[in-house]
Amino acid sequence: MELHIVIDSDKDLVRQVYRQIKEAIQTGRLTAGEQVPPSRLLAQRLHVSRKTISAAYTRLTMDKLLVGQVGAGTFVNAVNQPQPNQRHFAVKDLAAGATLKNWLGRSTASQPPETRAIYDFVGGGASKGHLPIAEWRQCVLHGLRKSNADRGLYSEPEGLPALREAIAHYTAFSRGVQCVPTDVLVTTGTQQAIDLIARVLLEPGSTVAIEDPGYPPARVTFASQGAYIACIPVDAEGMVVEQIPDGTRLIYVTPAHQFPLGMPMSLARRKALLKRAGELGAIIIEDDYYSEFRYMGRPIDSLQSMDRDGLVAFVGTFSKVMQPELRIGYLIAPPAIREALIVAKRLCNSHAPTMMQWALVKFINDGYLQKHIRRCHAMYASRREKLLSRFADDLAPWLRAIPATAGFHLTALTTREIDIPLLLKLARRADVGLYATDVFYHIVPPVQGLFFGYGAIETLDIEPALDRVKTILTEIA
């Protein structure tokens, strides 16, 4: 890389070079210990004499901004390096200050891996070590070859035709979704699919009905568009449909595995939801997260497969099935909003990386995905049984698991009053990551409980982790 210096006249060349290098050091563009170009090379690039650069370097060395090392070169001095002294506008001083405040305090950032506990029941994480690396490597190399053979132009915003076809077949086979490849949009995860729908449907004051408790990032996304959030309570059958208000434009639900409580939406409630959406002319976002992993009961039809009016947008992701870093999801778009979504996708990020799209095409078509799901299903089922057996046994005096038929998390409600913040604090000291359910509630009064994700924690770690939790519960009781 070349050091950015601009010579704007033939006068006082030494001072021009000196001032710009000093400013680069003070503002942090040149960091402590970084080497500056040799005087001969910098002089050639700037079309000035080497004497000019040497004189500027000498002044900077005298000011203790640079230091020379014999036989190595000249470097930014790490000792007594001046600190940046810049004035920055505060949020309140900006013309957009009021708008920015809508985003403050809405953080949904995940916990950095290095700060997580050894035994961590974090939600959303998949068992990364169980991805078939040899097969996935073959697919990635295939994707690299296919991308390299392409014409070097931008790809389709809705995704590669081959991947859209593979996703259409996959969702029809596994979830009974009624679609053709042209209905599919490839997204960078479920979150982008939700964001795209919000962009094309919502404006300030629009009403969005969401489950409460529910998925916080979806709620924040809708609120960022200025929407009014109608928080609808859930019961044992799912969202209480009759409480969806008139004027609702968008409904967000997780019918296969309610987030975070875990129960599936009953068939009667699904029919009622579709009927209510038809009355309102509202689009339903069906977030079908985790549905690949079902442990008991008969499969239930997706809302999209029951929809006869073209009102359900079905969203899913491969991040939960394979690994979060993959960041490839999909959206089965209702016909009425499909073209608008494609335009929004083009404006948002043009398209998902084609190399990874080609890799996923091969991973699906060669049968690797289904084999991987079967392996993970057995593993998650074993972890689920370990948790349920402990909740039914020695943890029963404190915790009661909500029956959940799918996914890889369980929610356990407390059976007696527990100081949850203290429990979380003491568990963290014991290197156990626990998570309270109250963060998922918005308007509905929270029900005290804990959220146990078992996708990222190893099977052999569950028992010792729960032993520590039991010890802490016994002590604080």
Q: What is the pLDDT of residues 220-242, one digit of tens each?
A: 999 989 999 999 999 999 999 99
The SS3 call for residue 241 is: helix
Peptide bond into 421 cis (omega under 30): no
Grade residue 350 by pLDDT with cuts at 50, 70 and 90: confident
State the Cα–Cα distance between residues 472 and 430, nearest whole angstrom: 9
Residues β-bridged to residue 413: 400, 449
**217: closest CA among 406, 440, 456, 443?**
440
State the average pLDDT over residues 360-382. Answer: 93
At residue 293, the pLDDT reads: 81
Task: State yes or no: pLDDT of 332 exceeds 90.
Answer: yes
**What stretch(es) of the chain map to CATH 1.10.10.10?**
13-76
**181: closest CA among 197, 198, 158, 201?**
158
Grade residue 109 by pLDDT with cuts at 50, 70 and 90: low
Task: State yes or no: pLDDT of 80 exceeds 70.
Answer: no
Rg of the chain on CA atoms, in Å: 28
N-term to C-term CA, the chain:
62
The SS3 call for residue 228 is: strand
Give the tens place of pLDDT for each residue, 426-459: 999 999 999 999 999 999 999 999 999 998 899 9
**68: closest CA among 46, 30, 28, 36?**
36
H or E element that contains 435: strand 435-436
Chain centre distance of CA 234: 25
Which architecture characterizes domain 13-76 according to CATH?
Orthogonal Bundle (1.10)
What percentage of the chain carries pLDDT values higher than 90? 66
Q: Please state whether beta strands 329-332 and 184-187 pair in parallel, antiparallel, or not at all (unpaired).
A: antiparallel
Instruction: Let me know: does 19 contact 27? Beta carbons within 8 Å.
Output: no
**44: closest CA among 56, 52, 34, 32?**
52
DSSP 75: E
For residue 105, how many other CB atoms are within 10 A of its CB?
7
Helices (H), 204-334: 216-224, 267-280, 303-306
Instruction: Let me know: does 333 contact 307? Beta carbons within 8 Å.
Output: no
Grade residue 148 by pLDDT with cuts at 50, 70 and 90: confident
**What stretch(es) of the chain map to CATH 3.40.640.10?**
131-366
At residue 369, the pLDDT reads: 93
DSSP 343: H
Grade residue 127 by pLDDT with cuts at 50, 70 and 90: low
Lowest-confidence segment of 44-58, 84-98, 333-347, 429-443 by average pLDDT: 84-98
State the Cα–Cα distance between residues 450 and 280, nearest whole angstrom: 36
For residue 358, how many other CB atoms are within 10 A of its CB?
23
pTM above 0.85, yes or no: no
Please tell us whether the domain made up of 113-125+371-476 is placed in CATH 3.90.1150.10. Answer: yes
Structure tokens at 19: 């001032």
State the Cα–Cα distance between residues 445 and 461, nearest whole angstrom: 33
For residue 364, how many other CB atoms are within 10 A of its CB?
20
Grade residue 128 by pLDDT with cuts at 50, 70 and 90: low
For residue 192, how many other CB atoms are within 10 A of its CB?
24
State the Cα–Cα distance between residues 62 and 320, nearest whole angstrom: 57
At residue 4, the pLDDT reads: 86
Task: State yes or no: pLDDT of 108 exceeds 60.
Answer: no
At residue 15, the pLDDT reads: 92
Grade residue 353 by pLDDT with cuts at 50, 70 and 90: confident
Q: Is 306 exposed, middle or buried (CB count within 10 Å of its CB: 0-12, 13-18, 19+)?
A: middle
Task: State yes or no: pLDDT of 416 exceeds 70.
Answer: yes
DSSP 338: H
State the Cα–Cα distance between residues 327 and 318, nearest whole angstrom: 7
Grade residue 192 by pLDDT with cuts at 50, 70 and 90: very high
Task: State yes or no: pLDDT of 27 exceeds 90.
Answer: no
What amino acid is encoded at 384 in this protein?
R
Task: State yes or no: pLDDT of 303 exceeds 70.
Answer: yes
State the average pLDDT over residues 383-404. Answer: 93
**What stretch(es) of the chain map to CATH 3.90.1150.10?**
113-125+371-476
User: Which one is predicted more confidently, 95 or 158?
Assistant: 158
Peptide bond into 213 cis (omega under 30): yes
Planar angle of CA 452, 458, 461, nearest 5 degrees: 80
State the average pLDDT over residues 151-167. Answer: 88
> Mean pLDDT over all residues of the chain?
89
Instruction: Let me know: does 42 contact 53? Beta carbons within 8 Å.
Output: yes
Task: State yes or no: pLDDT of 88 exceeds 70.
Answer: no
Structure tokens at 223: 């609120």
DSSP 130: G
The correct CATH number of 131-366 out of 3.40.50.620, 3.30.2000.10, 3.90.228.20, 3.40.640.10 is: 3.40.640.10
Give the tens place of pLDDT for each residue, 1-25: 678 888 888 888 999 999 999 988 8
